[in-house]
Each structure stands twice: as structure tokens, then as C-alpha cells.
Structure 1
Amino acid sequence: MTDVRPTPQQAWDEMRSGNDRFVSGAPHHPAQDVERRHELTTGQRPIAALFGCADSRLAAEIIFDKGLGDLFVIRNAGQVLSESVVGSIEYAVAILEVPLLVVLGHDACGAVRASIDSTRQDAPELPPHIWRLIAPIVPAVQRVMRADPDATPLNVDSELVGREHLRDTIDELMHSSDIVSRAVDEGRLAVVGANYRLEEGRADAHIIIGPVSDTEA
């Protein structure tokens, strides 16, 4: 296991290249053999942390064609920040020294759909744990609906809501974590907010904070 850390740009280039291979149907399936498994018994040096939705279709290592020890992954329904999520991200940044954090949303997100449905006047009461999970997404729903006078819970653009929620999540993380914001300010970390397209398999960057460009070299 190498001690040489990639730059934020190198880490994002690796992630993007892996996603390109996945999209094209030619993944390499790296770092999944017995030797890699044995190597990792002495520690881990992931190239990136990824905070994404728990949706079964968002398996991070498959989407980005990575293997054991490559990604430090945190997931919950709707990629909603919590104390445990922020603490896990801070561990990845401060202790594991990852140069990249990817926050990954996706289209057709069930948590986003539930947050939209919860704003209907006739919405049924949700179980309390589910409501507490999706409640942070509701401001994005309300903001999108205010911007379109014709929008209702039945026709609002759920993908736009998802992108707004992605931005809210990153903004909240940057404001709530001195560790993350300082690492970005010092150029040691970049944060990429990406949206995954289920049909295409593509993870497109929508938000970039820090020393990363998404243009081809």
C-alpha cells in the first residue's frame, strides 16, 4: 500500500475514469484479489470518501470501478447529513487524509419522492424515524415549488429538487465542519457534488468546491 497521496484533481480523475469504464461496460474490477485483501490488513489509504444515498442501485465501488480499500463510503437514504455522517466524513478527512469527498445523489430518489409527497395537504403521517430522515429535504421541495407558480407535489420536478438538496447538503457540511472547510481552504481537499443517472450509469459533477476541474485534460 503506497503512502503517496493523490492530489484532489488526481483523485477525481481516477473516479471519473472508473465511471467512464462502468458506463462503457468495460470495468477493470481492480483491487479485488487475495493479495489486495491481505495488503489491507495493515491499514487503509482510500483515495476518496463518498457520501451517497443508500439506494441499492448506488453501489459506489461498482459505479466508479474501484476495489477494496479505494473508497471510504458513508450512505443513508437521501444522503441526509447527521452527526454520525459528519463525524465519519471528518474521520476520513482528518485521519485517513482523503483528498476528495464525493457527495452522490441520483435521479428517481425514493427519499426525495417521499419528501415531495409529504408536502401534500392529504399526505399520510409518516413513521417518526422516516419523517426525521426526510425532513431536511423538504426545504428544497418548498424552494423549487416557490420558484414555479404552477408546481404542485404531483408535478414538481423531482430531479431539480434532488439537485437543490445536493447543494443544501454540501452547504450545510461546509458550514458545520471546520475540519472539512479548513481542508478545502488549504487545498488539501476538494468536494464534488455529483448526480448519478440510473439508466446511463453516469455520475455527473454539478458542484465543485476546491482545487478540482471537471474538464478533460
Structure 2
Amino acid sequence: MSIQHPQFNLSRRSLFKFSAGAIGTGVLTAGLGSKLLAAEKKAPAEDDITPDKALQELLDGNDRFVKRKRRNPNQTYSRLVEVAKSQKPFASILGCADSRVPSEIVFDQGLGDLFVCRIAGNIATTQQIGSLEFGSLVLGSKVIMVMGHERCGAVDAAIKGAQVPGKIGSLLEAIKPSVESSKGESGDKLENACKANIAAQVERLKTSSVLSELIKAEKLKIVGAYYDLDTGKISVVS
């Protein structure tokens, strides 16, 4: 599905007037289909939660996970039936593809709660940015969290200048600027580079015209967070 279209030219005034139906005739025409767009129209009002409250909901869920007090919300069959009709995720996660960091589990969330994009090194590619724009502008997600993690293999490989086959090198190239920017910092080299990479991806997301307009209108917050593999604790770092 192409996410580029000459009709996708949003002014500040028109940005928030964009409905799912309008997008269906522009950016997302045939790719999404009329059924999805009709479903989104039936979703609750997008202002039912603020960006700050959405972030706190994530952190509260992680606190329950760390303390082994998970509620496992929205994981029933009735919830499955409910969100089959439409989705209204309150938060989006740009996370690493690492199998040890499953967003719904570490944030103690359920079906339809999170809009998740995962890629090795939690890098904001063009496609990831487009997905997150959709999650915020159309689905109404109130916070985007870029979540890196302790001992990230992709960042470690970028630090070591690993020679890798296939397309893996494209991931390392995207991380290398953060490795360079973190050189000379005191402390653990890998942790510093991981956190620098998180901050870099947050800033890259903020260059999106769609996301920046939502931030200006106080409809969205973008933050960076670091996940401790040993404890399960998530800390906001940018």
C-alpha cells in the first residue's frame, strides 16, 4: 500500500478536520477499504483521554507488571468481539523486535489498547513513521512511546561495526549516528548508545508534519523510554 498521495497535503487548519472518510478518498483509498473506515467513525470521541493520562496508564501498567500484580485487562472474549468492530488504542509503541519485550505484557494491557510497531533497534523508518501517523491521526492514539531496551543486540552490533549479511546492515546504519553521538559519555557504552538511539528516534518522529501538528494542538505526546530486561522496569528517558 502506498502511503504517498498528492491529496495528502494538510494545513494546520485542515489537519484536525480530517475524518476517516476523507482519508479513505485520499491517502489510504483502496488499501484500507470502506469497512475499516466505517468502523473508525463509530469509535469513541478521541478526546476521552489526555496525552498525560495515556502516558500514566502505560506507566501504571508497567508498575503492575514489575510488582507481579497484573490485571490482564481487556483480554476476554467479549473484548475480542468489541474491538473486532473498531479499534481505539490509547497509546502507540515504537519498540524493538526483541522477543523479550512484548508491549501488551510489560504494560499490562489487552486487545485494542496499544498500536504497536516493532523493528530491530526501535528505529523510526519512513514506514514506521507513516504507521504511527495513522495510529495517532486516524485511530486517536494520545501518546507515542519509543521504547528501547537494555543490552539491545542491534545497538551492540552497531557499536562493534559488525559485518552482517543481507539487509541487516541497513538497521545498523540507522543506529550508527547515535553510537557516535554517545561516544565519550561516562558509564556503560552500550546503555549510553541505546538511550541516545531512543532520543534520536523521538526527535525523528517529531519532524513528521502530521505528528508535530498533533503535538502543537496538545492531542499527542511523544516520549522515549528504556526497558530493563532484568527487572521489567520501564523508565522515561526523553
Give the alignment's TM-score, normalised by structure 1. Answer: 0.85
User: Paired residue for 2:53?
Assistant: 10
Distance 1:138 1:164 in 2: 10
Indicate which of 155, 164, 169 corresponds to 1:112.
155
Distance 1:37 1:59 in 2: 19
1:83 is matched with: 126
Alignment partners' CA distance in 1, 2:182 and 2:200: 13
Q: Which residue of 1 aligns with 2:190?
A: 158
Q: Give the 3-state SS of the residue equivalent to 1:38 in structure 2.
A: helix
Q: Which amino acid aligns with 1:92?
A: G
Map of 1:201 onto structure 2: 232
The size of the alignment, in residue pairs, is 195
Separation in 2 of the partners of 1:99 and 1:37?
22
Q: Are 1:64 and 2:107 counterparts?
A: yes
Are 2:167 and 1:129 equivalent residues in the alignment?
A: yes
Give unpaired runs (5+ residues) of structure 2.
1-42
Distance 1:52 1:41 in 2: 24
Cross-structure match for 1:192: 223
1:173-204 Cα deviation digits (max 9, x unpaired): 212x1001111111100111100011111110
Aligned pair 1:19/2:62, yes or no? yes
- Which residue in 1 is equivalent to 2:178? 140
Q: Secondary structure at the match of 2:167?
A: helix
Q: One-letter code of the match for 1:183?
A: L
How far, CA to CA, are the matches of 1:24 and 1:156 in structure 2? 27
Moved more, 17-26 or 165-174: 165-174
**8 Å contact from structure 1 (residues 49, 92) kept in 2:** yes
**CA distance in 1: counterparts of 2:65 and 2:152, whole angstroms:** 21
Identify which of 126, 141, 154 aligns with 1:98: 141
Partner amino acid, structure 2, of 1:17: D
The residue type equivalent to 1:27 in the other structure is R
2:188, 2:149 → 1: CA distance?
16
- Is the Cα–Cα contact under 8 Å of residues 50 and 101 in structure 1 kept in the other structure? yes
Deviation at 1:35, TM superposition (A): 0.4
State how far apart, in whole Å, the 2-side matches of 1:189 and 1:39 are: 25
Query: Cα offset for 1:97?
Result: 1.4
CA apart distance, 1:144: 2.2
CA distance in structure 1 between the partners assigned to 2:48 and 2:228 by the alignment? 29
Runs of 4+ off more than 6 Å? none
Partner in structure 2 of residue 212 of structure 1:
none
Show structure 1 runs of 5+ residues with no match.
Answer: 208-217
Q: Distance in 1 between matches of 2:209 and 2:152?
A: 29
Paired with 2:223 and 2:124, the residues of 1 have a C-alpha distance of: 16
Rounded Cα–Cα distance in structure 2 between residues aligned with 1:156 and 1:66: 32
The 3-state SS of whatever aligns with 2:182 is helix
- 1:2 deviation in Å? 4.6
Report what 1:170 is aligned to: 202
